Structure 1
């Protein structure tokens, strides 16, 4: 559920997208383009990535949005998202990106998403061939203003996991996630198809209904 503001709304202009993830940035830019927002990424502004110390998607999304808004003096929008696998007790969950970490590299930590997908598959394989493969993607958007006011919006899409990975578009765990009602992975969908149904799109629909409604 969103925590309602007193109808405080964004106006066309600059908005910081608090991410260094190019794939996530592109999705968010495409979703916001019709509303006259000039999206600047935390990466291109040279903002440091704050330490995500929260234990929920909501907490981590707020950490990132507040940090970007305070650093730039502009409204900031962040996304904290991840994959939860029922048979793994909801893991990797808020540690979705951590499962892809390879350790420090020049320019920041390196991430190997194929390795991360393999970790999930390996844990499922150890549970046996009959282990359920139900999974869900979660997204929490946090919109923060420099004065500290903030609001969150949540989206979720259910599905299942497949192996080996399939498809060439998307990012993260997209190549192994099949959304409910389809036979293709997120990485086999056209980006416009994914953006119409994804967890992030569902969170965005709530944001747009509040922020850009007439």
Structure 2
């Protein structure tokens, strides 16, 4: 889909039920091969309009390019990564999701496909990422993606964190109470103390990854 063919964004949000998980699968080139029913419903496209086309069909212009570069760098290295994303529906409305991107490989460690598991995002989370994304988009419009990457690196360095840790913290904030996650009264510290394998298992269960 070219920019000319994209829907014109409108300032109206689609609310996703809290218990829903939107799933899509793409081949290694980013072409959609599978979608679940709730993904179809929220995106507004028919299944035949989604299968066989590039996943950027739902990319919203408010999303900075650097965020997708980070995601692609992870999944091409066969690493799972999570991101908070604003997507564009067929009718121009938008919807926010926190997404767990999973790379699947064959017995020879060749990439088979990428699967995205999406859950709805609470308003508190949007308040964290919207100003950051606006700043990154503004920088990209003027100076390009390298400048936005430097800004983002400086942003993390100033806060003593990194992209992965920021998203993990955002996911915890995505719930009204940390105890809903089974992590006790201090979920941030509980996640920090997990091993990499245990942490991935925890988030896989949270996102319904099979």
Structure 1 length as normaliser, TM-score? 0.32
Structure 2 length as normaliser, TM-score? 0.32
